[in-house]
């Protein structure tokens, strides 16, 4: 299952909470859209903490698109 | 993508340590006891310098606050992280800023100063930090229930630039109207002749130290409230490393400089009414958690273009004025005449905000 989270414009820790919840419910692939470097770093750490791997981390529309996959 | 070394585990620990050392040095150079840097106290002093309250002993346009915000703005511009944004429940953030300041002034310090008070041997700081942790824990419960102040929007450059410009304007005022010896006022700016407001390190030293801290904190996302929140919310100790490093580095520097004086009674700019030290910081911690950052972090966010964080800072400054005008703020003699009522009303208001804005995803 591929899941997409749009966390743009949300302040910390909401992007992380949303990403953790999605990873808990889903065993496949997760895409997270964020718009600050802080959220990007925080989501990256949350992904690693759950044993997932960050596959993509690219700028998009003034923010970032992160794609993580379960190892 | 270029990796941000300051945002690594050791990066934020190093930044916390630098803040701890520089804060202890600022005390040595003239800032009040266990108040090398206190974001809440210093914003309160700025409110006094601008004549927003009439507490004569706490009036000084503290360059530390200006330096922290400008340092963050410079770092954000240099790394292309300056991003004007606004529109996430600004009036709620303003009120949370006011309440956070009211709570912090019942304890007599923001989380930074609570850490510095602990590092200076003030046992009352333990009570305050417990209250702070409890407040943040309550805030974390709301976050878990889906609490959100809603999304911000990208905004025109001026929306992000206006707060740093206000800071530049305040800096200009400090240069144009410096303190005149034994004068309580120079044209538009008020100065304290005695008390904590008259106790300060040299202006340029404070400004330079704060600029350095502002740059480092923007890069590392240093946040004392976030340190506790992330630990309680998802067991993450990343930011906690920075907070603990601040305490350890300040403690070590205090020991070297002879600034460590353990005890509960007679501590500088502090009182020993444990219940209200706890409750004041509970209110502050809850307000910080709902608003997404400690007062330092709000300054750094405001510096990098976050108009909502800027509103929170302005709320804190107005909250300081209200605290002193309405006798809500404590003094070394104890809590203010209306401090209890203010804390109870403040907590009730925070809970109302928490309950009514939870349970839906923005």
For chain A, the domains span 2-70
CA dihedral B182, B60, B268, B249 (to 10 degrees): -130
Closest residue, chain A, to B239 (C-alpha)? A42
A52 CA: distance to closest CA in chain B (Å): 16
A21 CA: distance to closest CA in chain B (Å): 10
pLDDT digits (tens, 9 = 90+) for B202-247: 999 999 999 999 999 999 999 999 999 999 999 999 999 999 999 9
Domain-located, residue B55 = yes
pLDDT digits (tens, 9 = 90+) for B50-96: 999 999 999 999 999 999 999 999 999 999 999 999 999 999 999 99
CA dihedral B35, B36, B38, B41 (to 10 degrees): 50
DSSP B79-126: TT----EE-S-HHHHHHHHHHHHHHHHHHTS-HHHHHHHHHTTBTHHH
User: What number is the ipTM of this complex?
Assistant: 0.93
Does the CB of A25 have a partner CB in chain B at under 8 Å? Answer: no
Measure the CA–CA gap between B362 and B358, rounded to whole angstroms: 10
Domain-located, residue B90 = yes
Please provide the average confidence, as pLDDT, over all residues in chain B. Answer: 97
Measure the CA–CA gap between A26 and A49, rounded to whole angstroms: 15
Give residue B362's pLDDT: 44
Helix (H) or strand (E) holding A60: strand A52-60
pLDDT digits (tens, 9 = 90+) for B97-151: 999 999 999 999 999 999 999 999 999 999 999 999 999 999 999 999 999 999 9
Measure the CA–CA gap between B153 and B63, rounded to whole angstroms: 31
Nearest to B66 by CA among B172, B222, B197: B172
> Are B47 and B61 spatial neighbours (Cβ–Cβ below 8 Å)?
no
State the pLDDT confidence band at A1, using cuts at 50, 70 and 90. low
Tell me the average pLDDT across B26-47: 98
Note down the domain range covering B155: 5-356
Give residue B360's pLDDT: 57
Interface of B with A (CB under 8 A): 1, 4, 7, 81, 83, 85, 88, 143-144, 148-149, 151-154, 221, 226, 229-230, 233-234, 236, 238, 292-293, 308, 361-362
Domain-located, residue B361 = no
Nearest neighbour of B292 by CB, restricted to A12, A49, A62: A12
> Are B70 and B164 spatial neighbours (Cβ–Cβ below 8 Å)?
yes
Does the CB of A60 have a partner CB in chain B at under 8 Å? Answer: no
| Angle at which helices B295-303 and B157-176 cross, to 10° | 110
3-state secondary structure B55-92: CCCCCCCCHHHHHHHHHHHHHHHHCCCCCCEECCCHHH
CATH number listed for the domain at residues A2-70: 3.30.110.40
Measure the CA–CA gap between B267 and A16, rounded to whole angstroms: 40
Strand partners, B331: B334
Nearest to B24 by CA among B196, B216, B224, B257: B257
Q: Report how many domains make up chain B.
A: 1
Q: Which of helix, strand or coil describes residue B295?
A: helix
Closest residue, chain B, to A57 (C-alpha)? B1
Give residue A12's pLDDT: 87
Domain-located, residue B362 = no
Strand partners, B218: none
Domain-located, residue B118 = yes
Does the CB of A48 have a partner CB in chain B at under 8 Å? Answer: no
Query: pTM for the complete prediction?
Result: 0.97
Cβ contact, residue pair A9, B153, below 8 Å: yes
Chain B residues close to A59, C-beta within 8 Å:
1
Chain position carrying tokens 């590392």: B220
Measure the CA–CA gap between B226 and B309, rounded to whole angstroms: 15
């Amino acid at each position: 299952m591929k899941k997409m989270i749009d966390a743009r414009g949300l302040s910390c820790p909401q992007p992380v909470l949303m990403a953790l919840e999605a990873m808990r419910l889903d065993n496949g692939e997760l895409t997270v859209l964020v718009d600050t470097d802080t959220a990007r770093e925080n989501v990256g750490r949350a992904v690693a903490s759950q044993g997932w791997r960050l596959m993509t981390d690219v700028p998009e529309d003034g923010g970032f698109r992160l794609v993580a996959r379960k190892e | 993508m270029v990796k941000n070394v300051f945002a690594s585990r050791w990066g934020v620990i190093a930044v916390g340590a630098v803040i701890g050392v520089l804060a202890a040095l600022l005390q040595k150079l003239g800032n009040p006891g266990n108040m090398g840097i206190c974001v809440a106290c210093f914003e309160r002093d700025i409110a006094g310098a601008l004549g927003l309250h009439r507490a004569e002993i706490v009036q000084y346009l503290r360059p530390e606050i200006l330096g922290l915000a400008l340092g963050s703005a410079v770092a954000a511009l240099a790394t292309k992280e300056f991003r004007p944004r606004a529109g996430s429940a600004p009036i709620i953030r303003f009120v949370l800023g006011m309440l956070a300041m009211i709570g912090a002034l019942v304890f007599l310090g923001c989380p930074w100063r609570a850490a510095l008070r602990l590092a200076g041997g003030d046992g009352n700081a333990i009570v305050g930090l417990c209250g702070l942790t409890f407040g943040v824990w309550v805030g974390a419960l709301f976050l878990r229930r889906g609490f959100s102040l809603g999304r911000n929007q990208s905004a025109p450059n001026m929306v992000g630039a206006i707060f740093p410009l206000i800071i530049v304007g305040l800096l200009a005022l400090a240069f144009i109207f410096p303190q005149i010896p034994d004068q309580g006022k120079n044209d538009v700016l008020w100065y304290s002749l005695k008390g904590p407001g008259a106790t300060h390190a040299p202006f340029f030293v404070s400004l330079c130290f704060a600029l350095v801290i502002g740059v480092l904190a923007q890069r590392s996302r240093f946040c004392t409230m976030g340190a506790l929140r992330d630990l309680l919310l998802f067991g993450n100790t990343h930011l906690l490393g920075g907070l603990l490093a601040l305490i350890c580095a300040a403690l070590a520097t205090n020991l070297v400089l002879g600034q460590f004086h353990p005890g509960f009674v007679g501590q500088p700019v502090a009182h020993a009414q444990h219940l209200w030290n706890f409750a004041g910081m509970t209110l502050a911690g809850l307000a910080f958690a709902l608003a997404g950052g400690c007062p330092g972090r709000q300054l750094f966010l405001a510096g990098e273009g976050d108009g909502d964080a800027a509103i929170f800072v302005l709320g804190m400054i107005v909250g300081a004025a209200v605290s002193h005008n309405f006798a809500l703020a404590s003094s070394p003699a104890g809590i203010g005449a209306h401090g209890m009522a203010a804390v109870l009303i403040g907590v009730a208001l925070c809970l109302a905000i928490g309950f009514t804005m939870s349970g839906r995803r923005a």
